Chains A and B, each alone.
Chain A
Amino acid sequence: MMQLIWNGLIVGSFYSLVALGYSMVYGIIKLLNFAHGDIYMLGAFVGFLVLSSFGGIPAAMSIPALLVILLLAMVVTGLIGVAIERVAYRPLRSSPRLAVLITAIGVSFTLEYGIRQLFGPNPRAFPVRLSSESFDVLGMRVSLSQLVLVVVAAVLMFVLAHIVERTREGRAMRAIALDPQAAHLMGVNVNRVIATVFFIGSALAGAAGVMAGAYYGSIDFLMGFVIGLKAFTAAVIGGIGNLYGAMLGGLLLGLLESFGAAWLGGEWRDVFSFAILIVILTFKPTGLLGARVVERM
């Protein structure tokens, strides 16, 4: 029981990190960035590339090394996110929604199959073994590295919340989310803020990718597909566009899935979460913390 909760929380924190980017981008430009899950995959591959170029890393060093690589991967994926926005989404900002969605799918395919061409179709072993030292707390088996993952995720989310709530940049983001035209008139540099949002969102997804690589030990070019869907589900559960909603939704989805899989069998795990998605969208499309969206006519 407690073990299910703990496992759910770990997976849930990955979902939260990816969901945050989804939700931020949606909040600010109303774009469902289908390629967001693939940024997570890119993060894992950046980590993989760096780690394998170092050769082996002693187990004692694995956690500090991982943190360094995490930062590196965040910067790289953040920049990739900015580049994607610049090249693929910005030219279409005033196009119909359908066109932008289709472009996002194109970007997703480009990233997935670009990586496939580079690294091949088969899964790669992530070249860092986390030490499996563990201890029992409240009837849960908790390993030190799992604890580190959850703490890192929590720190990242805390920093993000600080940025959005307390800084100038954050205020500009919220202004654009409310009304891009008015924000522009008020002197907010809309393009720059959108780029910042893409940077932050992508960096968080990249971080989640590295952490997931270390946690599961194996990565492949399609690993972002399902998590993209899950992260969207998480964002919707929490209320898309709402940051705390995305965090909450991720954790909740992780827990629900953990219990659902234990109850129905692991092969139904994904069916279970997509069914949750459909049910939520049907009965409460604004999610738990989402505001009611009023559109202008």
Chain B
Amino acid sequence: MSALLEVRDLHLRFGGVKAVDGLSFDVHEGEILAVIGPNGAGKTSAFNCISGFYRPTSGTIDFEGRSIMRVLPSTITRRGMARTFQNLRLFKEMTVLDNVKTAMHANLREGFFDTLLHTPRYRRAEEACAREAQGWLDFVGFEGDEQLYVTQLPYGEQRRVEIARALATSPKLLLLDEPAAGLNYGEKQGLMRLIRKIRDLGVGIVLIEHDMGLVMDLAERIVVLNYGKEIADGTPAQIKADPVVIEAYLGAEDDEALDDTTLTGMVATVDDEVPPSGDAGGRSA
């Protein structure tokens, strides 16, 4: 079976910064792939290329055998690739339910005049939409009040809603950018179960994550990035034993075997990203 997503020799440059410098990997249906690497390694930039927000400097990206280079992000989503953002990007002035309903936009048969005249088609579409959205909220284990505004939710719940929203686009491939960032231990365990549950639906998953314990547990394959370069690609066991990866993470002077907790601790301390600025405007594609 051919791969769901094929990335070949991806390069992205911002002025002099080589954010992504040669990245290739495949993802298959129902597979969990993790992308790891220190902060600034280019993981988010790679996601932004794949989901259409940045235009890569060179390389190819095929989704279900078709190129998605120079395709609008919204079109890529319609073809079946959904993503979440590293810095939660929910629609702040909408309710939880509306956030998820919004993601069904492309999938809903509801025309302009249906809405204006409240035709039976409108009622049917809205009912289906609400039901699906509620179904996804239940699926991700959101137990709060779906009529609240998202800003009223605790952080962990917002993360769940973001995943429900991505699922509501009806994806074949889901890109998760640091979904566990800021979650406590219990919440992380819940998230791991949720990710497996999504995989069991047949959805391919690409996961960016710093928590090495979580990654080693969850991922079937791991791609390691450092300074934009892909330095390793393999199973968790292979990655753990890979000297290049160990060196990249711990520095040349430290020859100790790679240990989950060390890694987790190391990376967690540098895990601060500039928060999104006040404006949500301008795309950078």
Q: Is the CB of A293 within 8 A of B282?
A: yes
Q: Give the complex CA separation of A278 and B145 in angstroms.
A: 46
Of A38-46, A89-97, A150-158, the stretch lying at the interface with chain B is: A89-97
* B14 CB within 8 Å of chain A: yes
Q: Are A94 and B278 in contact (CB under 8 A)?
A: yes
Tell me the residues in window 68-99 of chain B with beta carbons closer than 8 Å to chain A beta carbons: 85
Q: Can you name the residue of chain A whose Cβ is closest to the Cβ of B281?
A: A97
Among B260-285, those with CB < 8 Å from A are: 274, 276-284
Interface assignment of A181: CB less than 8 Å from any CB of chain B: yes
Number of interface residues of B (CB under 8 A): 15
Q: Which residues of A contact B277 (CB under 8 A)?
A: 296
Partner pick for A30 among B44, B279, B280, B284, CB 8 A cutoff? B279
Residue of B nearest to A179 (CB): B274
Encode A286-297 as 1/0 by CB contact (under 8 A) with B. 000000011111
Residues of A within 8 A of B249 (CB): none
Interface size class of A (residues with CB under 8 A): 10 to 19
CB distance from A292 to the nearest CB of B (A): 9
Docked Cα-Cα span, A294 to B15, in Å, equals 10
| CB of B53 within 8 Å of the partner chain | yes
Interface residues of A in 48-98 (CB under 8 A from B): 93-97
A181→B272 CA distance, assembly (Å): 13
Chain B residue, CB-CB nearest to A92: B278
Q: Are B278 and A295 in contact (CB under 8 A)?
A: no
A296 to chain B: which residues have CB within 8 Å?
274, 276-277, 284
Report yes or no: B274 in contact with A295, Cβ–Cβ below 8 A: no
> B24 within 8 Å of A by Cβ?
no
In the complex, B60 has a CB within 8 A of chain A: no
Report the minimal beta-carbon distance from A127 to chain B, rounded to whole angstroms.
45
Distance in angstroms from A99 CB to nearest chain B CB is 9
Highest count of chain B CB atoms <10 Å: which of A97, A293, A296, A297: A297
